[in-house]
Structure formats: C-alpha cells, structure tokens
Amino acid sequence: MSADQTNFGSLPWPDVLPQHVAIVMDGNGRWAQARSLPRHAGHKAGVASVRAVTEACGKLGIKALTLFAFSSENWERPQAEVSVLMELFLRALQRETSRLARNNVRLRLIGDRTRFPPRLQEEIAAAEEKTANGTGLQLTIAASYGGRWDLTQAAAAAARAALAGELRPEQITPERLEGYLSTAGLPEPDLLIRTGGERRISNFLLWQFAYTELYFTDVLWPDFRAPELAQAFADFARRQRRFGRTPEQLEQLQRA
Ligand code: IPE
Ligand code: IPE
Ligand code: MG
C-alpha cells in the first residue's frame, strides 16, 4: 500500500511510460490557504506527495524523476518561509534517506548548493553518498536551481576547460555542452508535469525541455498522488512525439 492508501496495482497505468519525468511541485501555499492554514502547512503536506510519487515511479521502473523543490527565484520569498523550507528539506533528508537507499534509489541534488545553510549542505552530501550505489530510480531534487543558473555554470565550466587547453571553441557542440549541465548522464525528460494550475516553466530545465511533453493540471501538489500520476501518464501515452518529423515518417520508423 502506498502512502496515500490507494491500491497502486488497480490504477490504470498505461503500457507506454516515460523514462524520465520532471515535476514542478506547485500549489502548496494555495492548498494551505484554502484550509485557513499557514503556507508552511502546505509545504509539509507536500512532502507526503513527494513520498507517494517517488514510490510509484520506483515501482513502475521509471528511470529518472526530477523534482523542482525550490527555484533560484524562491530565495526572494519572505525569510520566514525560506527558513521553514530549509528546515523541511533537512528533516526530509534525515528521515527518508535510509528508506531510499533500501529501495535502491539514487538521490542527487542539482542547484547552487553554496547558498544553503552549512548543515543542509552536509546532509545533502551525506544523502548522496548513502544512496550512491542505487541502480533503481534516479531521483534528482532541483533546489536553489534555475535553468539559467545551470546553463551559466555549464558555460563557465566549458570556458575553464578551454583555458586549461582541454577544449577548443570549435569542439563545443550541443552534446559537449550537455555534458557540463547538472543533469549530465540522465536521459532527456520525456514528460514535465506541473501541478497548481500555472502554465509556465518558471526557470526549470530550460535546455533539457527542448522536446519534453508538457502536462499541466489544476490539482495542487499536496493532493497529487498515485491516481493523479496515473492520469498524467495516460495522457502522455496518447501523445505522438515527432521530434520534427512527419507523422508518415514516424509510422515508417515504427514499422521498421
Ligand atoms: C510550491 O508551492 C513550493 C515552492 C515553490 C517551494 P508554492 O509555495 O509556490 O504554492 P503556491 O503557488 O503559492 O500555491
Ligand atoms: C516554481 O513555483 C518553483 C517550484 C515549484 C519549486 P513558483 O510558485 O515559485 O513559480 P512562479 O513564481 O509561480 O512562477
Ligand atoms: Mg507557486
């Protein structure tokens, strides 16, 4: 039984599943406000959704799950809310890491971690180390993350390699640049899910989303569990991904 008490097996999971799912976990504040609770109650409730969705993806054999937890721009929120979020990250890491390791999950954080309190930085490093041998679900938490930050740090890394004489400018190809991004080694995201009703990217994986299928739902993140994930996957399964080709070309490729 998963954390949300739904019968996982009876849900209508489609045959075609995405390999890499990215999620903008939005709507915690509104979930809390609708219940006359402080915003942080919504963030706390959202942790249970993280657990449920991670478990479901693990059971389904999904390769990679990337969760947008805190953006570069979220640092501009009121100090009290930022502190609560940092405290929640810390506690979630402390509480969940052993379970993740047991379930063969590999946890990694992408983002500018130098901005985190030192204790959180240590806990992140420890969690990454404890789960380093996980060969199941590759769980990536994007925190203090922005797509522009990622592209900028990739450009800086390429420039350093060029200065060190390891790279000539004409060798900088899309593939090479991709190798410097924080998501290097992960398959490209097949599906982006954004909860909470907004239809925007909010500086998430700007480069990586070039051919990602986008799915928006009004469901607020704390209400998003396995059944809502199954719905998103069913929608994904109905899409035809053409990557610039014609439908006829795709049919030919599928027959070959
Ligand atoms: C997403 O929920 C969580 C973070 C950005 C940290 P919000 O806090 O943005 O919730 P809403 O959008 O205000 O409802
Ligand atoms: C996006 O949510 C970032 C995360 C969910 C971590 P926001 O609530 O910060 O996005 P905007 O401000 O509505 O674009
Ligand atoms: Mg929001």
Domain boundaries defined on the chain? 15-255
Tens-digit pLDDT profile for residues 164-214? 999 999 999 999 999 999 999 999 999 999 999 999 999 999 999 999 999
- Going 13 to 59 to 236 to 34, the CA torsion angle's sign is positive
Amino acid identity of 154?
A
Give the relative orientation of helices 39-60 and 226-237 as an angle to the nearest 10 degrees.
60
Ligand 2 atom at shortest distance from the alpha carbon of 196: 8
Q: What is the DSSP letter of 182?
A: T
Cβ(108)–Cβ(141) under 8 Å? yes
Q: Which among 26, 44, 73 is the best mutation to test ligand 1's pocket, defined by most ligand atoms within 8 Å of the CB?
A: 26
- Enumerate residues lining ligand 2, CB below 6 A: 24-26, 68-71, 74, 198, 200, 202
Centre of ligand 1 to C-alpha 226, Å, is 20
Statement: the pTM of the whole predicted model exceeds 0.85: yes
Centre of ligand 1 to C-alpha 25, Å, is 7
pLDDT of residue 237: 98
pLDDT of residue 5: 63
Q: Tell me the pLDDT of the chain averaged across its residues.
A: 96
pLDDT of residue 7: 85
Q: How far is CA 207 from CA 25, 113, 147, 151, 182, in A?
A: 19, 20, 7, 8, 11
Task: State the ligand closest to the CA atom of 82.
Answer: 1
Tens-digit pLDDT profile for residues 17-49? 999 999 999 999 999 999 999 999 999 999 999
Provide the percentage of residues in the chain whose pLDDT is more than 70: 98
Centre of ligand 3 to C-alpha 5, Å, is 26
Answer left, alpha or beta for residue 72, where phi above 0 means left and psi between -120 and 50 means alpha: alpha
- What are the DSSP calls for 82-141, one per residue? HHHHHHHHHHHHHHHHHHHHHTT-EEEEES-GGGS-HHHHHHHHHHHHHTTT--S-EEEE
Q: What is the mean pLDDT of residues 51-74?
A: 98
**What's domain 15-255's superfamily in CATH?**
Decaprenyl diphosphate synthase-like (3.40.1180.10)
pLDDT band (50, 70, 90) for residue 6:
confident
Ligand 2 atom at shortest distance from the alpha carbon of 198: 13
Please name the residue whose Cα sits nearest to atom 14 of ligand 2: 202
Tokens of 51: 């657990």
pLDDT of residue 1: 44
Centre of ligand 3 to C-alpha 115, Å, is 21
Beta-carbon count within 10 A of 86 CB: 17
Q: Which among 23, 30, 35, 203 is the best mutation to test ligand 1's pocket, defined by most ligand atoms within 8 Å of the CB?
A: 30
What's the rounded Cα separation, in Å, for the pair 79 and 40? Answer: 12
pLDDT band (50, 70, 90) for residue 13:
very high
Please name the residue whose Cα sits nearest to atom 7 of ligand 2: 26
